[in-house]
Amino acid sequence: MKISHFIAGQPHAGSGIHTGPVFNPSNGHKLYDLDYGDSDLVDHAVAVAKKAGAEWAKTSQARRLQIIFKMRELVIANTDRIAEITGQENGKTLADAKGEIGRALEALEYATNAAQISKGEYSLNVGGGIDVYSFRQPVGVVGCIAPFNFPVMVPLMMASMAIACGNAVILKPSEKVPGASFLLSELWKEAGLPDGVWNMVNGGKEVVDGILTNPDIPAISFVGSTAIGEYIYQKGSHHGKRVAAYTGGKNHMVVMPDADLEAAASAFVSAAYGSASQRCMAISLLLPVGKQTADKLIELIVPKIKALRMGAYNDPKADFGAVISTVSKEQVLASIDTAIEQGGELIIDGRFGEDSNGFYVGASLIDNVTVEMEMYKKEIFGPVRGIVRVNSLDEAIDVTNHHEYGNGAVIYTRDGNSAHRFTVEVKAGMLGVNVAVPVPVGHHNFGGLRRSKFGDAHMFGPDAARFYSDLKTVSQRWPESGGDSHTLSMAFPSNE
Protein backbone atom coordinates (compact mmCIF):
# COMPACT_ATOMS: atom_id res chain seq x y z
CA MET A 1 0.00 0.00 0.00
CA LYS A 2 1.05 3.57 -0.65
CA ILE A 3 -1.21 6.47 0.24
CA SER A 4 -0.67 10.00 -1.07
CA HIS A 5 -2.18 13.40 -0.48
CA PHE A 6 -5.15 14.20 -2.73
CA ILE A 7 -5.35 17.70 -4.18
CA ALA A 8 -7.21 19.10 -7.20
CA GLY A 9 -8.77 15.74 -7.97
CA GLN A 10 -5.46 13.90 -8.19
CA PRO A 11 -3.02 12.02 -5.91
CA HIS A 12 -0.27 14.40 -4.84
CA ALA A 13 3.12 12.89 -4.01
CA GLY A 14 4.25 15.63 -1.65
CA SER A 15 7.87 16.44 -0.91
CA GLY A 16 8.87 13.23 0.86
CA ILE A 17 11.00 15.21 3.32
CA HIS A 18 8.94 14.19 6.35
CA THR A 19 7.36 10.76 6.67
CA GLY A 20 5.75 8.60 9.34
CA PRO A 21 5.01 4.87 9.56
CA VAL A 22 1.54 3.38 9.26
CA PHE A 23 1.14 0.05 11.07
CA ASN A 24 -1.25 -2.88 10.98
CA PRO A 25 -2.28 -3.15 14.66
CA SER A 26 -3.36 -6.78 14.19
CA ASN A 27 0.21 -7.99 13.67
CA GLY A 28 2.41 -4.99 14.44
CA HIS A 29 3.85 -4.89 10.91
CA LYS A 30 4.55 -1.61 9.16
CA LEU A 31 2.32 -1.21 6.12
CA TYR A 32 4.14 1.74 4.54
CA ASP A 33 5.67 5.15 5.22
CA LEU A 34 3.24 8.04 4.84
CA ASP A 35 4.45 11.31 3.33
CA TYR A 36 3.69 14.21 5.68
CA GLY A 37 2.66 17.55 4.30
CA ASP A 38 3.72 20.94 5.60
CA SER A 39 2.27 24.44 5.81
CA ASP A 40 3.23 25.17 2.20
CA LEU A 41 1.26 22.15 1.01
CA VAL A 42 -1.71 23.24 3.12
CA ASP A 43 -1.56 26.70 1.53
CA HIS A 44 -1.44 25.12 -1.93
CA ALA A 45 -4.42 22.89 -1.16
CA VAL A 46 -6.38 25.84 0.23
CA ALA A 47 -5.69 27.92 -2.86
CA VAL A 48 -6.98 25.07 -5.02
CA ALA A 49 -10.02 24.59 -2.76
CA LYS A 50 -10.82 28.30 -2.68
CA LYS A 51 -10.94 28.51 -6.47
CA ALA A 52 -12.89 25.28 -6.89
CA GLY A 53 -15.20 26.14 -4.00
CA ALA A 54 -16.17 29.47 -5.55
CA GLU A 55 -17.49 27.63 -8.61
CA TRP A 56 -19.04 24.84 -6.53
CA ALA A 57 -20.98 27.43 -4.50
CA LYS A 58 -22.64 28.56 -7.73
CA THR A 59 -23.66 25.01 -8.62
CA SER A 60 -27.37 24.33 -8.30
CA GLN A 61 -28.68 22.47 -5.28
CA ALA A 62 -30.05 19.79 -7.59
CA ARG A 63 -26.61 19.08 -9.06
CA ARG A 64 -24.94 19.03 -5.65
CA LEU A 65 -27.45 16.52 -4.33
CA GLN A 66 -27.05 14.30 -7.39
CA ILE A 67 -23.38 13.94 -6.49
CA ILE A 68 -24.17 13.23 -2.84
CA PHE A 69 -26.58 10.47 -3.94
CA LYS A 70 -23.94 9.05 -6.29
CA MET A 71 -21.35 9.07 -3.51
CA ARG A 72 -23.75 7.10 -1.32
CA GLU A 73 -24.11 4.47 -4.05
CA LEU A 74 -20.34 4.22 -4.45
CA VAL A 75 -19.73 3.83 -0.72
CA ILE A 76 -22.24 0.98 -0.64
CA ALA A 77 -20.67 -0.66 -3.69
CA ASN A 78 -17.18 -0.37 -2.17
CA THR A 79 -18.08 -1.39 1.38
CA ASP A 80 -15.77 -4.41 1.38
CA ARG A 81 -12.80 -2.39 0.08
CA ILE A 82 -13.33 0.38 2.60
CA ALA A 83 -13.76 -2.08 5.47
CA GLU A 84 -10.58 -3.95 4.48
CA ILE A 85 -8.46 -0.80 4.48
CA THR A 86 -10.05 0.35 7.75
CA GLY A 87 -9.35 -3.01 9.40
CA GLN A 88 -5.75 -3.11 8.21
CA GLU A 89 -4.90 0.37 9.49
CA ASN A 90 -7.16 0.67 12.53
CA GLY A 91 -7.28 -2.93 13.79
CA LYS A 92 -11.06 -3.02 14.25
CA THR A 93 -12.88 -6.10 13.02
CA LEU A 94 -14.41 -6.14 9.57
CA ALA A 95 -17.87 -6.36 11.10
CA ASP A 96 -17.14 -3.29 13.19
CA ALA A 97 -15.75 -1.45 10.17
CA LYS A 98 -18.89 -2.21 8.17
CA GLY A 99 -20.99 -0.93 11.05
CA GLU A 100 -19.03 2.32 10.91
CA ILE A 101 -19.66 2.54 7.17
CA GLY A 102 -23.38 2.21 7.87
CA ARG A 103 -23.21 5.25 10.12
CA ALA A 104 -21.23 7.10 7.45
CA LEU A 105 -24.04 6.42 5.01
CA GLU A 106 -26.41 8.18 7.42
CA ALA A 107 -24.27 11.29 7.08
CA LEU A 108 -24.51 11.17 3.30
CA GLU A 109 -28.23 10.51 3.42
CA TYR A 110 -28.85 13.39 5.80
CA ALA A 111 -26.74 15.71 3.64
CA THR A 112 -29.33 15.30 0.91
CA ASN A 113 -31.59 17.40 3.18
CA ALA A 114 -29.25 20.39 2.93
CA ALA A 115 -31.63 22.32 0.69
CA GLN A 116 -34.45 21.88 3.19
CA ILE A 117 -32.62 22.65 6.42
CA SER A 118 -30.64 25.60 5.05
CA LYS A 119 -33.48 27.48 3.42
CA GLY A 120 -34.31 30.97 4.67
CA GLU A 121 -37.43 32.85 5.75
CA TYR A 122 -39.55 35.62 4.22
CA SER A 123 -41.70 38.27 5.88
CA LEU A 124 -43.95 40.43 3.73
CA ASN A 125 -44.38 44.15 4.53
CA VAL A 126 -42.92 44.25 8.03
CA GLY A 127 -43.52 48.02 7.92
CA GLY A 128 -42.94 50.93 5.59
CA GLY A 129 -43.50 48.70 2.57
CA ILE A 130 -40.39 46.69 3.45
CA ASP A 131 -40.07 42.95 2.94
CA VAL A 132 -37.44 41.02 4.93
CA TYR A 133 -35.96 37.72 3.87
CA SER A 134 -32.98 35.57 4.83
CA PHE A 135 -30.84 33.00 3.07
CA ARG A 136 -27.72 30.97 3.69
CA GLN A 137 -24.52 30.84 1.67
CA PRO A 138 -21.51 28.53 2.01
CA VAL A 139 -18.65 29.81 4.16
CA GLY A 140 -16.01 28.84 1.56
CA VAL A 141 -13.24 26.41 2.52
CA VAL A 142 -13.77 24.12 5.52
CA GLY A 143 -11.00 22.39 7.48
CA CYS A 144 -11.82 18.89 8.76
CA ILE A 145 -9.41 17.24 11.21
CA ALA A 146 -10.41 13.61 11.79
CA PRO A 147 -9.41 10.98 14.41
CA PHE A 148 -8.03 7.45 14.03
CA ASN A 149 -10.94 5.58 15.60
CA PHE A 150 -13.55 6.31 12.90
CA PRO A 151 -11.61 6.88 9.67
CA VAL A 152 -14.73 6.64 7.47
CA MET A 153 -17.65 7.85 9.55
CA VAL A 154 -16.15 11.05 10.94
CA PRO A 155 -14.71 12.43 7.68
CA LEU A 156 -18.07 11.86 5.99
CA MET A 157 -20.00 13.24 8.98
CA MET A 158 -17.93 16.41 8.68
CA ALA A 159 -17.58 16.76 4.94
CA SER A 160 -20.89 15.54 3.47
CA MET A 161 -22.95 18.42 4.82
CA ALA A 162 -20.17 20.92 4.12
CA ILE A 163 -20.07 19.84 0.48
CA ALA A 164 -23.86 19.69 0.19
CA CYS A 165 -24.02 23.30 1.42
CA GLY A 166 -21.62 24.40 -1.32
CA ASN A 167 -18.26 24.45 0.47
CA ALA A 168 -14.86 23.03 -0.45
CA VAL A 169 -13.06 20.77 2.04
CA ILE A 170 -9.51 20.29 3.28
CA LEU A 171 -9.40 16.99 5.18
CA LYS A 172 -6.54 16.03 7.46
CA PRO A 173 -7.13 12.41 8.43
CA SER A 174 -5.27 10.80 11.30
CA GLU A 175 -1.76 9.97 10.19
CA LYS A 176 -2.34 6.50 11.65
CA VAL A 177 -5.24 5.66 9.29
CA PRO A 178 -5.10 7.65 6.04
CA GLY A 179 -6.03 4.82 3.68
CA ALA A 180 -9.82 4.96 4.00
CA SER A 181 -9.84 8.73 3.47
CA PHE A 182 -7.73 8.35 0.33
CA LEU A 183 -10.23 5.83 -1.02
CA LEU A 184 -13.06 8.26 -0.19
CA SER A 185 -11.16 10.88 -2.19
CA GLU A 186 -11.18 8.62 -5.24
CA LEU A 187 -14.88 7.87 -4.76
CA TRP A 188 -15.80 11.56 -4.56
CA LYS A 189 -14.07 12.10 -7.88
CA GLU A 190 -15.86 9.10 -9.38
CA ALA A 191 -19.15 10.50 -8.07
CA GLY A 192 -18.60 13.62 -10.17
CA LEU A 193 -17.44 16.09 -7.51
CA PRO A 194 -15.45 18.81 -9.30
CA ASP A 195 -11.70 18.67 -8.81
CA GLY A 196 -10.54 20.70 -5.84
CA VAL A 197 -13.79 20.62 -3.86
CA TRP A 198 -12.47 17.71 -1.77
CA ASN A 199 -8.78 17.73 -0.82
CA MET A 200 -6.78 15.61 1.60
CA VAL A 201 -3.48 16.59 3.21
CA ASN A 202 -1.69 14.07 5.43
CA GLY A 203 0.59 14.93 8.32
CA GLY A 204 0.91 15.95 11.92
CA LYS A 205 0.98 19.16 13.92
CA GLU A 206 2.47 21.30 11.14
CA VAL A 207 -0.48 20.49 8.89
CA VAL A 208 -2.94 21.17 11.71
CA ASP A 209 -1.32 24.53 12.43
CA GLY A 210 -1.40 25.33 8.73
CA ILE A 211 -5.15 24.77 8.73
CA LEU A 212 -5.61 26.80 11.93
CA THR A 213 -3.71 29.82 10.65
CA ASN A 214 -4.60 29.96 6.95
CA PRO A 215 -6.82 33.03 6.50
CA ASP A 216 -8.87 31.42 3.73
CA ILE A 217 -10.28 28.69 6.01
CA PRO A 218 -13.11 30.29 8.03
CA ALA A 219 -14.47 27.12 9.68
CA ILE A 220 -12.82 24.07 11.27
CA SER A 221 -14.33 20.83 12.55
CA PHE A 222 -12.31 18.50 14.79
CA VAL A 223 -12.78 15.18 16.56
CA GLY A 224 -10.13 13.85 18.95
CA SER A 225 -8.63 14.19 22.38
CA THR A 226 -9.57 16.98 24.77
CA ALA A 227 -6.06 18.43 24.98
CA ILE A 228 -5.72 18.76 21.21
CA GLY A 229 -9.33 19.87 20.78
CA GLU A 230 -8.89 22.68 23.27
CA TYR A 231 -5.70 23.76 21.49
CA ILE A 232 -7.47 23.77 18.12
CA TYR A 233 -10.42 25.69 19.53
CA GLN A 234 -8.28 28.34 21.19
CA LYS A 235 -5.83 28.83 18.32
CA GLY A 236 -8.51 28.67 15.64
CA SER A 237 -10.68 31.17 17.52
CA HIS A 238 -7.66 33.43 17.98
CA HIS A 239 -7.34 33.51 14.20
CA GLY A 240 -11.00 34.47 13.82
CA LYS A 241 -12.38 31.09 12.77
CA ARG A 242 -15.53 29.30 13.87
CA VAL A 243 -14.44 26.03 15.47
CA ALA A 244 -16.39 22.94 16.47
CA ALA A 245 -14.18 20.56 18.47
CA TYR A 246 -15.66 17.29 19.71
CA THR A 247 -13.39 15.87 22.37
CA GLY A 248 -13.13 13.34 25.22
CA GLY A 249 -15.68 11.38 27.14
CA LYS A 250 -15.96 9.32 30.29
CA ASN A 251 -19.45 7.95 29.87
CA HIS A 252 -21.33 6.65 32.91
CA MET A 253 -23.92 3.87 32.92
CA VAL A 254 -26.24 3.91 35.94
CA VAL A 255 -28.13 0.70 36.71
CA MET A 256 -31.07 0.94 39.09
CA PRO A 257 -32.20 -2.01 41.26
CA ASP A 258 -35.43 -2.32 39.27
CA ALA A 259 -33.64 -2.67 35.90
CA ASP A 260 -33.56 -5.78 33.75
CA LEU A 261 -30.12 -6.78 35.01
CA GLU A 262 -29.49 -9.41 32.35
CA ALA A 263 -30.20 -6.86 29.61
CA ALA A 264 -28.09 -4.25 31.42
CA ALA A 265 -25.17 -6.67 31.74
CA SER A 266 -25.18 -7.52 28.04
CA ALA A 267 -25.54 -3.86 27.10
CA PHE A 268 -22.64 -2.87 29.32
CA VAL A 269 -20.26 -5.46 27.89
CA SER A 270 -21.02 -4.56 24.28
CA ALA A 271 -20.98 -0.80 24.86
CA ALA A 272 -17.86 -0.93 27.02
CA TYR A 273 -15.57 -3.19 24.98
CA GLY A 274 -16.68 -2.82 21.36
CA SER A 275 -13.94 -1.48 19.06
CA ALA A 276 -11.46 -2.29 21.83
CA SER A 277 -13.13 0.57 23.75
CA GLN A 278 -11.70 3.12 21.30
CA ARG A 279 -14.93 5.08 21.03
CA CYS A 280 -15.75 8.48 22.50
CA MET A 281 -19.23 7.09 23.25
CA ALA A 282 -18.04 3.85 24.89
CA ILE A 283 -19.29 3.17 28.41
CA SER A 284 -16.32 3.79 30.70
CA LEU A 285 -17.82 3.49 34.18
CA LEU A 286 -20.60 1.26 35.50
CA LEU A 287 -22.58 2.74 38.42
CA PRO A 288 -24.80 0.06 40.01
CA VAL A 289 -27.13 1.48 42.66
CA GLY A 290 -26.94 -0.57 45.85
CA LYS A 291 -24.72 -3.46 46.91
CA GLN A 292 -27.17 -6.13 45.79
CA THR A 293 -27.42 -4.62 42.33
CA ALA A 294 -23.63 -4.37 42.07
CA ASP A 295 -22.99 -7.93 43.20
CA LYS A 296 -25.62 -9.37 40.86
CA LEU A 297 -24.39 -7.33 37.91
CA ILE A 298 -20.81 -8.45 38.45
CA GLU A 299 -22.00 -12.04 38.61
CA LEU A 300 -23.68 -11.58 35.22
CA ILE A 301 -20.97 -9.47 33.60
CA VAL A 302 -17.84 -11.43 34.42
CA PRO A 303 -18.61 -14.55 32.32
CA LYS A 304 -19.70 -12.36 29.41
CA ILE A 305 -16.43 -10.43 29.47
CA LYS A 306 -14.34 -13.59 29.83
CA ALA A 307 -16.10 -15.02 26.79
CA LEU A 308 -15.04 -12.09 24.61
CA ARG A 309 -12.49 -12.95 21.98
CA MET A 310 -9.94 -10.52 20.62
CA GLY A 311 -8.22 -11.14 17.34
CA ALA A 312 -7.06 -9.85 14.00
CA TYR A 313 -9.26 -7.49 12.05
CA ASN A 314 -10.13 -10.25 9.56
CA ASP A 315 -10.81 -12.96 12.16
CA PRO A 316 -14.58 -13.58 11.84
CA LYS A 317 -14.70 -14.97 15.39
CA ALA A 318 -13.12 -11.90 17.01
CA ASP A 319 -15.34 -9.61 19.09
CA PHE A 320 -12.78 -6.81 19.04
CA GLY A 321 -9.32 -6.18 17.70
CA ALA A 322 -6.09 -4.54 18.74
CA VAL A 323 -5.62 -1.00 19.98
CA ILE A 324 -4.14 1.49 17.55
CA SER A 325 -0.46 1.53 18.58
CA THR A 326 2.21 0.30 20.97
CA VAL A 327 1.99 3.66 22.77
CA SER A 328 -1.75 3.19 23.26
CA LYS A 329 -1.20 -0.35 24.53
CA GLU A 330 1.38 0.84 27.04
CA GLN A 331 -0.93 3.60 28.26
CA VAL A 332 -3.79 1.15 28.81
CA LEU A 333 -1.57 -1.27 30.71
CA ALA A 334 -0.18 1.56 32.84
CA SER A 335 -3.71 2.70 33.71
CA ILE A 336 -4.51 -0.75 35.10
CA ASP A 337 -1.38 -0.73 37.26
CA THR A 338 -2.24 2.74 38.56
CA ALA A 339 -5.81 1.72 39.39
CA ILE A 340 -4.56 -1.23 41.45
CA GLU A 341 -2.04 0.97 43.25
CA GLN A 342 -4.81 3.45 44.11
CA GLY A 343 -7.08 0.82 45.65
CA GLY A 344 -9.07 -0.60 42.76
CA GLU A 345 -9.88 -4.32 42.74
CA LEU A 346 -8.91 -6.01 39.47
CA ILE A 347 -11.59 -8.66 38.96
CA ILE A 348 -10.75 -9.39 35.30
CA ASP A 349 -7.15 -9.09 34.14
CA GLY A 350 -6.67 -8.60 30.40
CA ARG A 351 -3.06 -7.50 30.48
CA PHE A 352 -1.73 -10.61 28.82
CA GLY A 353 -2.88 -10.79 25.22
CA GLU A 354 -2.94 -13.96 23.16
CA ASP A 355 -0.90 -12.50 20.29
CA SER A 356 2.24 -10.63 21.33
CA ASN A 357 2.94 -9.52 17.73
CA GLY A 358 -0.04 -7.18 17.53
CA PHE A 359 -1.10 -4.29 19.74
CA TYR A 360 -3.50 -6.39 21.79
CA VAL A 361 -4.93 -5.71 25.23
CA GLY A 362 -7.55 -8.02 26.68
CA ALA A 363 -10.71 -6.86 28.41
CA SER A 364 -10.15 -5.80 32.02
CA LEU A 365 -12.60 -4.78 34.75
CA ILE A 366 -11.82 -2.93 37.98
CA ASP A 367 -14.21 -2.77 40.94
CA ASN A 368 -14.40 -0.22 43.78
CA VAL A 369 -13.33 2.76 41.67
CA THR A 370 -13.72 6.11 43.44
CA VAL A 371 -13.87 9.68 42.16
CA GLU A 372 -10.37 10.33 43.53
CA MET A 373 -8.77 7.67 41.32
CA GLU A 374 -7.17 8.18 37.91
CA MET A 375 -9.42 5.38 36.64
CA TYR A 376 -12.37 7.69 37.22
CA LYS A 377 -10.78 10.93 36.08
CA LYS A 378 -8.99 10.04 32.86
CA GLU A 379 -10.38 8.86 29.56
CA ILE A 380 -8.76 5.51 28.78
CA PHE A 381 -8.88 4.63 25.10
CA GLY A 382 -8.62 0.88 25.56
CA PRO A 383 -10.51 -2.11 27.00
CA VAL A 384 -10.31 -1.43 30.73
CA ARG A 385 -13.52 -0.36 32.46
CA GLY A 386 -14.38 0.53 36.04
CA ILE A 387 -17.19 0.03 38.55
CA VAL A 388 -18.18 2.88 40.85
CA ARG A 389 -20.55 1.64 43.56
CA VAL A 390 -23.25 4.13 44.61
CA ASN A 391 -26.11 3.91 47.07
CA SER A 392 -28.82 6.02 45.42
CA LEU A 393 -29.89 7.72 42.23
CA ASP A 394 -28.94 11.06 43.81
CA GLU A 395 -25.40 9.81 44.36
CA ALA A 396 -25.24 8.37 40.84
CA ILE A 397 -26.23 11.73 39.35
CA ASP A 398 -23.72 13.56 41.55
CA VAL A 399 -20.90 11.20 40.55
CA THR A 400 -21.79 11.56 36.87
CA ASN A 401 -21.89 15.35 37.05
CA HIS A 402 -18.70 15.49 39.12
CA HIS A 403 -16.67 14.49 36.07
CA GLU A 404 -15.24 17.18 33.78
CA TYR A 405 -16.59 15.45 30.68
CA GLY A 406 -20.20 15.43 29.55
CA ASN A 407 -20.27 13.46 26.33
CA GLY A 408 -22.81 10.74 27.10
CA ALA A 409 -24.54 9.03 30.03
CA VAL A 410 -26.97 6.14 30.33
CA ILE A 411 -29.50 4.81 32.83
CA TYR A 412 -31.07 1.37 32.95
CA THR A 413 -34.36 1.33 34.84
CA ARG A 414 -38.03 0.41 34.59
CA ASP A 415 -39.09 3.51 36.54
CA GLY A 416 -40.18 6.53 34.52
CA ASN A 417 -39.51 9.02 37.29
CA SER A 418 -35.92 7.84 37.71
CA ALA A 419 -35.37 8.07 33.97
CA HIS A 420 -36.91 11.54 33.82
CA ARG A 421 -34.79 12.84 36.68
CA PHE A 422 -31.67 11.40 35.08
CA THR A 423 -32.27 12.99 31.69
CA VAL A 424 -33.11 16.38 33.21
CA GLU A 425 -30.38 16.55 35.86
CA VAL A 426 -27.36 14.88 34.23
CA LYS A 427 -25.06 17.34 32.47
CA ALA A 428 -24.23 15.40 29.32
CA GLY A 429 -25.06 16.09 25.70
CA MET A 430 -26.25 12.61 24.69
CA LEU A 431 -28.32 10.51 27.07
CA GLY A 432 -29.64 6.97 26.93
CA VAL A 433 -32.57 5.37 28.73
CA ASN A 434 -32.13 1.62 28.41
CA VAL A 435 -29.93 2.40 25.39
CA ALA A 436 -26.25 1.83 26.09
CA VAL A 437 -24.73 3.79 23.18
CA PRO A 438 -26.90 6.93 22.82
CA VAL A 439 -25.44 8.16 19.54
CA PRO A 440 -28.22 10.06 17.75
CA VAL A 441 -29.33 9.17 14.24
CA GLY A 442 -28.23 11.50 11.47
CA HIS A 443 -31.11 13.96 11.63
CA HIS A 444 -30.47 14.78 15.30
CA ASN A 445 -27.58 16.85 16.59
CA PHE A 446 -24.48 15.06 17.92
CA GLY A 447 -22.29 16.62 20.59
CA GLY A 448 -21.42 16.64 24.26
CA LEU A 449 -21.35 19.25 27.02
CA ARG A 450 -18.72 20.70 29.29
CA ARG A 451 -15.17 19.67 28.25
CA SER A 452 -16.46 17.12 25.78
CA LYS A 453 -17.09 19.86 23.21
CA PHE A 454 -15.58 23.24 22.44
CA GLY A 455 -17.76 25.59 20.44
CA ASP A 456 -21.52 25.80 20.09
CA ALA A 457 -22.03 23.70 16.96
CA HIS A 458 -22.95 20.03 16.57
CA MET A 459 -22.19 17.29 14.09
CA PHE A 460 -25.10 15.62 12.34
CA GLY A 461 -28.49 17.31 12.54
CA PRO A 462 -29.58 20.80 11.47
CA ASP A 463 -26.69 22.46 13.32
CA ALA A 464 -24.24 21.01 10.79
CA ALA A 465 -25.81 22.98 7.94
CA ARG A 466 -25.81 26.14 10.06
CA PHE A 467 -22.13 25.68 10.95
CA TYR A 468 -21.11 25.36 7.31
CA SER A 469 -23.09 28.36 6.09
CA ASP A 470 -23.43 32.09 6.68
CA LEU A 471 -26.83 33.66 7.28
CA LYS A 472 -27.72 36.86 5.44
CA THR A 473 -30.85 38.92 6.12
CA VAL A 474 -32.09 41.38 3.52
CA SER A 475 -34.53 44.27 4.03
CA GLN A 476 -35.86 45.47 0.68
CA ARG A 477 -38.36 48.04 -0.53
CA TRP A 478 -39.44 48.78 -4.09
CA PRO A 479 -41.23 52.16 -3.98
CA GLU A 480 -43.77 53.06 -6.58
CA SER A 481 -42.69 55.50 -9.24
CA GLY A 482 -43.29 59.07 -8.12
CA GLY A 483 -43.56 58.12 -4.44
CA ASP A 484 -42.06 59.94 -1.45
CA SER A 485 -38.91 57.78 -1.13
CA HIS A 486 -36.73 60.92 -1.27
CA THR A 487 -38.34 62.38 1.84
CA LEU A 488 -35.91 62.78 4.75
CA SER A 489 -36.80 60.63 7.79
CA MET A 490 -34.81 59.94 10.97
CA ALA A 491 -36.93 56.91 11.99
CA PHE A 492 -36.15 53.26 11.40
CA PRO A 493 -37.48 52.57 7.90
CA SER A 494 -39.80 49.81 9.06
CA ASN A 495 -41.34 52.16 11.66
CA GLU A 496 -42.39 54.74 9.11
280 assigned to active site: yes
Q: What value, to the nearest 5°, has the Cα angle with vertex 161 and ends 155 and 164?
A: 125
Instruction: Determine how many CB atoms are found less than 10 A away from the CB of residue 254.
Output: 27
The single-letter code of the amino acid at 68 is: I
Q: Do 322 and 25 meet the contact criterion of CB atoms below 8 Å apart?
A: yes
Catalytic residue among 217, 280, 361, 375: 280
Q: Do 94 and 313 meet the contact criterion of CB atoms below 8 Å apart?
A: yes
Q: Do 429 and 449 meet the contact criterion of CB atoms below 8 Å apart?
A: yes
Nearest Cα to 368, choosing from 394, 390, 352?
390
- Cα separation, 412 vs 88, in Å, equals 36
Partners of 365 in beta bridges? 348, 385
- Cα separation, 427 vs 429, in Å, equals 7
Catalytic residue numbers? 280
